[in-house]
């Protein structure tokens, strides 16, 4: 069995104004306020291409290693739906702006990009019931009409649902880094249709396309669901019809939307109201020079020049605010390797624990540095450091205040520790016997006991030494 997956991705470009008129590009505005004769398709209104759209599309295409075409053009994709007052969408069907790109996954596998084209978004419908077929009435907000999109079409180069998810995440990280899109799937600024088919030795299933996927997790889930479903149909010796299905995030399943036969015939033809799009070599070169460092390049730099592990480097380089935070911490004199571990294992864990996006103000570099210094100079234990950091995260207090206020300084004074060590030994005669019979691995148990009694404040190295001394002396 071989699974074949290809993605078609739409992303909204964060330009100031819409693609072909001067309306503001703002989907959050009061409904039907950012509209004009052009984006609502009034007779006689003419589109004018927003040059910022071209700029962003080139930036994206170059970041995805595509070839930019010096000449491309626009076409009309015709269909009727209430969210499309013009009756057609302006897109680039016959001659897209860019082709032949790629994104490399972290395991080195190359996912080729077939094409990238510019198009415009349609409006947004609101139905009085959950589904359009049950709805007695529907409303439409045309603010989204004419918002610029780029569509990115991959070759069917992915074989696993995880790969599709990784591709989408990497794509989002790139789009954010080059500042052309928020890449936010949850609000529809990044949308993906996943195509999947399965081949065994004798035959291949038809291609099924899953639409309406609105999170990275669901890209993977929808494909897993579909692979299982198609495999089952094939096992039963039945045919898999070529169809478009929708992902229902409530039932975590896909449902048939339409069959191949019911596909629209879009009657594409060249857009007569827009000139051919000409992009000079100079412009492409200029944009190429202005591109910021992309996540993978940054990760490689962290790995090669700063000695950060590959996994940490990839995580830190994904997001601009995070990589800036890391770089600033290193610039303030902290060791890169140590800092990378602290950020990835401790700082990010806190943000993940309550699903908030990273924000450098929650744990300032000053505070990170203080906590790392306390730990590195053995003034507090790693365990206590975690606690202090969680407190900084929660309350924004200064680590010094927390350490002093809660009396958290590590006890490394042997005289202070010896009584606790003796207590733990006295309380566990069975374990002492085990130790004496040669099972030295129980040392850790005693250290744990002391750490518990001192609420993590004891210096575990010294505790270990003391326990060993006391037990060995008794021999």
Which residue lies nearer to Zn ion by CB, 21 or 208? 21
- 153 forms part of the interface with ligand ADP (CB under 6 A): yes
Residue 398, H or E segment: none
- 190 forms part of the interface with Zn ion (CB under 5 A): no
Region binding ligand ADP by CB under 6 A among candidate stretches 3-11, 376-384, 448-456, 458-466:
3-11
- List the 148-154 sheet strands across, edge first: 67-68, 98-104, 110-120, 148-154, 2-12, 190-199, 208-213, 243-248, 253-259
Rounded to a whole number of angstroms, the minimum distance from the CB of residue 204 to Zn ion is 45
Using CA atoms, how far residue 401 sits from 384, 389, 406, 469, 471, in Å, is 14, 12, 8, 36, 38
Q: At CA 57, angle to CA 27 and CA 25, rounded to 5?
A: 15
Please, which of residues 4-43 interact with ligand ADP by CB under 6 A?
4-8
Pick from 12, 73, 195, 454 the residue near ligand ADP by CB under 6 A. Answer: 195
Pick from 39, 64, 371, 389 the residue near Zn ion by CB under 5 A. Answer: 39
Residues 6 or more apart whose Cβ sits within 8 Å of residue 129: 135, 136
Q: Which long-range contacts (CB under 8 A, 24 or more apart) does 464-468 make?
A: 466/414, 466/417, 466/418, 466/421, 467/421, 467/424, 467/425, 467/443, 468/443
Please, which of residues 381-410 interact with ligand ADP by CB under 6 A?
none
Region binding ligand ADP by CB under 6 A among candidate stretches 101-109, 148-156, 226-234, 410-418:
148-156
Which residue lies nearer to ligand ADP by CB, 161 or 449? 161
- In the list Zn ion, ligand ADP, none, the entry touching 153 (Cβ below 5 to 8 angstroms by class) is ligand ADP
Residue among 4, 54, 338 nearest 195 (CA): 4
Taking CB under 6 A as the rule, which mask of x and - marks residues 201-240 in contact with ligand ADP?
A: ------x---------------------------------
Q: Are strands 208-213 and 243-248 parallel, antiparallel or unpaired?
A: parallel
The CB density around residue 119, as the number of other CB atoms within 10 Å, is 21
The CB density around residue 344, as the number of other CB atoms within 10 Å, is 20
- 344 forms part of the interface with Zn ion (CB under 5 A): no
Region binding ligand ADP by CB under 6 A among candidate stretches 23-31, 41-49, 191-199, 318-326:
191-199
Rounded to a whole number of angstroms, the minimum distance from the CB of residue 264 to Zn ion is 25
Compute the radius of gyration of the chain from its Cα atoms: 29
Which residue lies nearer to Zn ion by CB, 118 or 158? 118
Interface residues with ligand ADP (CB under 6 A)?
4-8, 153-156, 195-197, 207
Interface residues with Zn ion (CB under 5 A)?
21, 23, 36, 38-39
């Amino acid at each position: 069995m071989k699974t074949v997956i290809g993605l078609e991705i739409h992303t909204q470009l964060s330009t100031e104004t819409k693609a072909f008129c001067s309306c503001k590009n703002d989907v959050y505005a009061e409904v039907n306020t950012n509209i004009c004769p052009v984006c609502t398709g009034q007779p006689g209104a003419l589109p004018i291409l927003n040059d910022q759209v071209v700029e962003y599309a080139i930036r994206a295409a170059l970041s995805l290693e595509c070839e930019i075409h010096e000449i491309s053009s626009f076409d009309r994709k015709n269909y009727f739906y209430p969210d499309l007052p013009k009756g057609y969408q302006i897109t680039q069907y016959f001659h897209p702006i860019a082709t032949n790109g790629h994104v490399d996954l972290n395991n080195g596998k190359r996912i080729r990009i077939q094409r990238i084209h510019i198009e415009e978004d349609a409006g947004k419908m609101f139905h009085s019931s959950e589904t359009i077929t049950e709805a007695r009435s529907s409303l439409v907000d045309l603010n989204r009409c004419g918002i610029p999109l780029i569509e990115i079409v991959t070759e069917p180069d992915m074989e696993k649902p995880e790969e599709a998810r990784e591709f989408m995440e990497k794509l989002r990280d790139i789009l954010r880094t080059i500042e052309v899109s928020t890449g936010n799937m949850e609000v529809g600024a990044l949308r993906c249709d996943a195509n999947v088919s399965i081949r065994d030795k004798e035959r291949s299933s038809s291609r099924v396309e899953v639409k309406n996927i609105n999170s990275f997790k669901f890209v993977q889930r929808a494909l897993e669901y579909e692979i299982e479903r198609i495999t089952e149909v094939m096992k039963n010796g039945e045919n898999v019809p070529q169809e478009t299905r929708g992902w229902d995030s409530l039932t975590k399943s896909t449902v048939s939307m339409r069959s191949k036969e019911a596909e629209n015939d879009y009657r594409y033809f060249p857009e007569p109201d827009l000139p051919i799009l000409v992009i000079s070599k100079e412009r492409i070169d200029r944009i190429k020079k202005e591109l910021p460092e992309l996540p993978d390049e940054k990760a490689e730099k962290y790995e090669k020049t700063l000695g950060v592990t590959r996994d940490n480097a990839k995580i830190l380089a994904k997001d601009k605010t995070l990589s800036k935070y890391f770089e600033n911490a290193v610039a303030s004199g902290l060791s890169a390797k140590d800092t990378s571990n602290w950020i990835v294992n401790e700082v990010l864990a806190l943000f993940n624990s309550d699903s908030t996006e990273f924000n450098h103000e929650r744990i300032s570099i000053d505070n990170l540095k203080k906590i790392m210094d306390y730990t590195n100079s053995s003034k507090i234990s790693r365990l206590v450091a975690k606690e202090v950091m969680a407190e900084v995260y929660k309350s924004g207090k200064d680590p010094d205040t927390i350490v002093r206020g809660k009396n958290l300084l590590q006890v490394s004074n042997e005289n202070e520790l010896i009584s606790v060590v003796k207590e733990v030994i006295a309380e566990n005669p069975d374990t002492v016997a085990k130790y004496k019979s040669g099972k030295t691995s129980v040392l850790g148990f005693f250290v744990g006991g002391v750490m518990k009694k001192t609420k993590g404040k004891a210096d575990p190295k010294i505790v270990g030494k003391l326990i060993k001394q006391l037990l060995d002396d008794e021999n």
